[in-house]
Structure 1
Amino acid sequence: MNKKIAIVDYGMGNLLSVKKALDYIGANSFITSDAEKLKESDAIILPGVGAFPDAIESLKKNGLNKIITNEANEGKPFLGICLGMQLLFEESEEVTKTKGLGLIKGRIIKIKTEFKIPQIGWNSINIPKECELLKGVLEKSYVYFVHSYCAALENKDNLNAYCDYGAKIPAVVSSKNVFGIQFHPEKSGEIGLKMLKNFWELI
């Protein structure tokens, strides 16, 4: 049986560019908002662009928030991208205080820096702690960011990579089978594709 990654469609992500990147590396994937199909998948990707409260509201509307947390808690490989990574945390201060999925301890806060907000463009990452996603990715590799908010981690063990933007900004986080990438791997050239391939190889 072919292994498959489900890309969660909740009306808030650049789904097609993620799907295209997965096609390019030879990974089987499909876009769905169907709870049963998410359960049948071998791994889940939660992309996201936009505001945190809207995203949580959209997930709740279809009951996808419960399915996602159940599947992740049962050990299925799970990847959140950009806003999708931020949704993994316990709460966010964006727009209004909103509870997240609670898969990783910590909260989402406005980036505190003298530099321009949002951070848009290429930045290099530092890798204090390896994880499966970063296999074969070199320190100081450049990746593409677009965001105004970032994670404040409760447990530093969950931090795998960060970028410097006048502040130390978490770029890759993980907790067991759950991974989050703050930048856009689908827009980050070979490095981003390598990380998606590493995720695919987890299943």
Structure 2
Amino acid sequence: MNPLPAQLPVIPITRPVSGEITLPGSKSITNRALILSALCDAPVTLTGALFSEDTALMIAALRQLGLEIETDELARTIRVSGQSAIRNPQSTSIDIHVGLAGTAARFLTALCAAAPRGVYRIDGVPQMRKRPMRGLLDALTSLGADIRFLGEPHHFPVEIHARGLRGGPVEIDATESSQMLSALLMISPLCETPLDIRLSAPCASPSLK
């Protein structure tokens, strides 16, 4: 590797800059869009999607849940169909691996808890087992979710015995991650009655993972 020069000249811009650039997508937004697409009544095509390990884990999990997902990395598109599998799941027992993807972990936990039936075991890498989940798990439990801890309480791995969520008032502590609040907001259409979400403390910055 050649060493950097002692001085690096910076040439000033003397005329307007023109050209085209393509901004990369966001794994956080892509995973949120995937969950929302899974709740739609018709096929959805996402454009400008980011393909990364986190989104790959989300796509793999949604396929396990019965959705049909077609991807085109060159075109940066993802097509989601077969959404009836969310409201009418066919598999009775599913093991989901979320790696170290915080969005996949929290969003899929809420989605599985809101399912009308089925047993879902969710786990990740050892580091994922240390990440905060309590605020979301407590909120889901207060809505009627049957969540069982297979290791340390309020951490992964968990086993969810789905029976739907009743809705109504729910308090959540999302100070450790705004993803917990996002998870509740996105699965609210699956609840029996409208959700009335109240924050027990100011929500964490969306930039926090």
Same fold, judged at TM 0.5 (above): no
Q: Which has the higher strand share?
A: 1
TM-score (norm 1): 0.29
